[in-house]
Amino acid sequence: MSHAELIQGVSTAITNFDDEEAKKKTMEALNAGVDPLEFIKRSVQPAMDHIGKLYEDGEIYLPELILAGDAASAVLEAAVPRIAINDQAKAMRGTVVIGVMFGDNHDIGKNLVKALLQAYGFKVIDLGTDVPVKTFLDTALKENADIIASSTLITTSLPYQRQLIELLKASGNRDRFYVILGGGPVNPKWTKDIGADGYGNDAKDAVALCNKLVTEDLKPPLDHPVIVGAITR
Ligand code: B12
């Protein structure tokens, strides 16, 4: 079976809401030598985009959405530990506090971003989902973080990203941390409008973004946010 067929098999298992099959097919693909990073990009993301479209069109309902989410998480769990990163990449590090914004429980994308940042040598403090704005700040101060990374998939949580920037300013901490954003409803315009420092379209972009921020001598807040990755979704 070709690599493309193996990857397709995993996508199909996710869209069939079958987490056991998704995990089994993932192991088959990885054991056949499919690059794990490429594999995740070409299996999980398109499958979940497809599921999202079916949900939007009223062709599936919340229980199916949950099952597909479980299947995608099973794939990530199996594939992420297989990502091998060279030592040179690991030399560039910083501390990232990451969380899914208040009101939002979607964590598949955040988990992917976290896994890749860790694989590339960043220390990542994961606040989980439904994170109050103040928790981002308190944790970033406690951990002496370089970057605060906020993920959101639902539009109703977007205002809290703005609140985060406002809280940083009001508490006199805006120049201490880079603030980066990602997730479905987030885009470069929103990132600039609320005064955040960066946007990444996917997990690989998040790594490139964090690397750029910590290696170049930029000081937050940036006048123009760093935007990585074309908006493809
Ligand atoms: C799976 C899923 C769920 C699962 C979540 C499981 C889980 N553990 O996460 C479940 C079933 C629980 C769920 C629930 C709900 N969902 Co839902 N869900 C989805 C779905 C289909 C896929 C999301 C996903 O996992 N994508 C795959 C990952 C890999 O991609 P990603 O999250 O975008 O992350 C990538 C990038 O965005 C980026 N990224 C992400 N975060 C960050 C952060 C930084 C800093 C950076 C740089 C980059 C970055 O990198 C990631 C990796 O490449 C989307 C549709 C879609 N296409 O997005 C709807 C979707 C997000 N859900 C939606 C809705 C409405 C809901 C519910 C409100 C449904 C309900 N009526 O209860 C609830 C919300 C509950 C809550 N309060 O959170 C809507 C949101 C609409 C909106 N604009 O607000 C969507 C868009 C579906 C739709 N088209 O209507 N959902």
Rounded mean pLDDT, 180-184: 97
Mean pLDDT within 28-45: 90
Q: How far is CA 71 from the centre of its chain?
A: 17
Write out the residue limits of the CATH 3.40.50.280 domain(s) in the chain.
Answer: 87-228
- Identify the CA nearest to 68 among candidates 87, 52, 82: 52
CATH superfamily of 3-82: Methionine synthase domain (1.10.1240.10)
Distance CA(86)–CA(108), nearest Å, equals 25
Token pair 């979940």 is found at: 48
Ligand 1 pocket check for 105: Cβ under 6 Å: yes
- Residues of CATH 1.10.1240.10 domain(s) within the chain? 3-82
CB 47 within 8 Å of CB 233: no
Terminal Cα distance for the chain, rounded? 29
Residue 231: pLDDT above 80?
no
pLDDT in tens, 54-80: 999 999 999 999 999 999 999 998 998
pLDDT at 149: 98
Cβ neighbour number for residue 197 with a 10 Å cutoff: 25
Which pLDDT score is estimated for 116? 87
Strand partners, 123: 95
3-state secondary structure of 103: coil
| 109 Cβ below 6 A of ligand 1 | yes
pTM of the model: 0.94
**Which one of 19, 45, 153, 211 would you pick to mutate in the ligand 1 pocket, going by the greatest count of ligand atoms within 8 A of its CB?**
153
Q: For residue 103, report the distance from its CA to the centre of ligand 1, in Å.
A: 12
pLDDT of residue 20: 95
Tokens of 117: 């940042």
CA angle 132, 219, 181 (to 5 degrees): 35
**What kind of architecture, by CATH, is found in domain 87-228?**
3-Layer(aba) Sandwich (3.40)
106 lines ligand 1 (CB under 6 A): yes
9, amino acid identity: G
pLDDT tens for residues 81-138?
A: 888 776 666 666 899 999 999 999 999 999 989 988 988 889 999 999 999 999 999 9
